[in-house]
Structure 1
Amino acid sequence: MTDGPGAPPGTPGVPGPGRVAAGDRGATVIAERVVAKIAARAAREALDRIPEGGSAPHAGVVVHRDTARVRISLDLEYPADIGQRCAAVRRRVVERVKSLAGMDVPEVDIAVEHLHPPRAGRAGERDIR
């Protein structure tokens, strides 16, 4: 097999009729807002549920080539192991952004905005004063 203009169609590295060479095709760019939505959804998945009276997680993302730096703002129930919950969110965000957007996530900053204690009067819970 020869490589060049006289090569048969379908030869690797040589475009056939109507085909563009790999280096000339362009690139796929995933917008930061899309990565932010993936990260926020992943954080919500890791938390299982939003605390009563709380807000869904929000994400901000800075993308540079194939790397995303993520900041998540979220509300947690209290009492809870905050460090464990944040670690679960970090793992899930890294995993989902990598699998869905193909980006490495070397940094996930988490801001716990509010802690929500159990609401008084719910069945099975005692009122703490």
Structure 2
Amino acid sequence: MPALPVVAPAERGATRIADRVVAKIAARAALEALGPLPAEAAPPHAGVDVRPGVPGPAPAGGAPPTTVHVHVGLELGYPGDIGGRCAAVRRRVAERVEELAGMEVPEVAVRVERLHLTHASGTVRGRTR
């Protein structure tokens, strides 16, 4: 069987990953990082906004961006370690987007949108705005 001709990388084409796909990966990763909650607690929510961006000059030849900036909005239980949970979300989102989409994530901005108050027993009393 004859050998296939070698095609230069610039002529092979490129795979583009839609922002909404990256957003879904990031949202799922954020929920994974938050971990399980008591059955009575409100389900965690992670809203995600993805902004593709490449620091410095754009990739040559119309190649897709290799860097993405992710903004995550969370609803968390309170009281709790809010800073620790946000840090875990940042790490997990960056890891999963890089692993599954092959994109570097230099920034994961986390915004806590709501806190859900809980008793010491873990039952939900309400929400704080």
User: What TM-score do the two structures reach when normalised by structure 1?
Assistant: 0.74
Given candidates 47, 59, 78, the residue that maps to 2:48 is 59
Unaligned runs of 5+ in 1: 1-8
Equivalences for residues 11-50 of structure 1 within 5 A: 15=5, 21-49=8-36
Ranked by relative contact order (alpha carbons within 8 Å, sequence separation 6 or more), the top structure is 2
Q: CA RMSD in A?
A: 2.6
Deviation at 1:74, TM superposition (A): 0.7
Q: What is the total number of aligned residue pairs between the two structures?
A: 110
Which of the two has greater strand per residue?
2
Matches of 2:122 and 2:81, distance apart in 1: 19
Unaligned runs of 5+ in 2: 54-64
Decide which structure has the larger Cα Rg and report it. Answer: 1
Residue 71 to residue 125, structure 1, CA distance change in 2 (3 Å): closer
Find the residue that maps to 1:34 and give its secondary structure. helix
Deviation at 1:125, TM superposition (A): 5.8
Instruction: Verify the 8 A CA contact 1:50 1:56 in the aligned structure 2.
Output: no
User: What TM-score do the two structures reach when normalised by structure 2?
Assistant: 0.74
Q: Give CA-to-partner distance per residue, 1:94-128, whole Å, 9 cap, x none.
A: 000000000110001111011111159xxx469x9
Between the aligned residues of both structures, percent identity stands at 55
Equivalences for residues 1-129 of structure 1 within 5 A: 9-10=2-3, 15=5, 21-49=8-36, 52-64=41-53, 65-118=65-118, 124=121
